[in-house]
Amino acid sequence: MELSLFLSMLGFLWVAAITPGPNNMLLTASGANFGFLRSLPLMIGIMIGMQVMLLLVAFGVGGLLLLYPALHLILKIAGSLYLLWLAWKIGSASYEKLETGDVPLAPMPFWQGGLLQLINPKAWLMALGAVASFSLAGDAYRSSVMAISIGIVTVNIISGAIWLGFGTLIGRILRSRRAWAIFNISMGMLTAACVLLIWH
């Protein structure tokens, strides 16, 4: 893949990765509730889920969504229900003081981050768009998919760290139980609002 094409692909992927959405709302809420390091497994799960989805799209399974619209509808419904469940978990998270030695309840495990990708229609469409727009035909196909994979990992690490850091900073600023509840409810509502993006 030529450098100019790779940089164009990075720009496309960066916009998709850094803008607010289900992944970033979840990372922000996790960072605020559990801190940066304890939220890293969730970020890794999101990254693994994206890689699995990219491979599925690149090697044909994603094409089924285009051939069978009913599958896309099922994916939208499942994704919406899962996001609403995550929104409820975020909004109802209990107050924790990160500066104490107490161990808070466990953060969301990495598999939940991966699962979110696999039932997120917008993420599927992003992967389809990346493969359709930036993969090369013929013998260069596999190497171009590898380049897309590297690009996705790169933007996910940077954007994930930014949103986790943002959430961690918010978690350290929120000192009162009331402020904490307002933040978690707000993040839960923003996560639930991401359902509208799925149906847009």
Of the two residues 121 and 188, the one the predictor is more confident about is: 188
Which tens digit of pLDDT belongs to each residue from 57-95?
Answer: 888 765 665 567 777 677 678 767 776 877 787 777 666
Whether the per-residue pLDDT at 33 is higher than 90: the answer is no
Write the DSSP string, the chain.
Answer: --HHHHHHHHHHHHHHHHSSSHHHHHHHHHHHHH-HHHHHHHHHHHHHHHHHHHHHHHTTTTHHHHH-HHHHHHHHHHHHHHHHHHHHHHHTPPP--TTSSPPPSPPPPHHHHHHHHHT-HHHHHHHHHHHHHH--SGGGHHHHHHHHHHHHHHHHHHHHHHHHHHHHHHHHH--SHHHHHHHHHHHHHHHHHHHHHHH-
Residue 34 above 50 pLDDT?
A: yes
Average pLDDT of the chain is: 79
Quick one: pLDDT band at residue 152, thresholds 50, 70, 90? Answer: very high
Q: Provide the greatest CA pair distance for the chain.
A: 59
**CA distances in angstroms from 167 to 101, 138, 171, listed in the order given:** 19, 44, 6
- The torsion angle over the Cα atoms of residues 65, 66, 67 and 68, rounded to 10 degrees, is 40
pTM of the model: 0.71
Alpha carbon distance 198, 125 (integer Å) = 10
For position 200, what pLDDT does the model report? 63
Burial of residue 122 (number of CB atoms within 10 Å: 0-12, 13-18, 19+):
middle
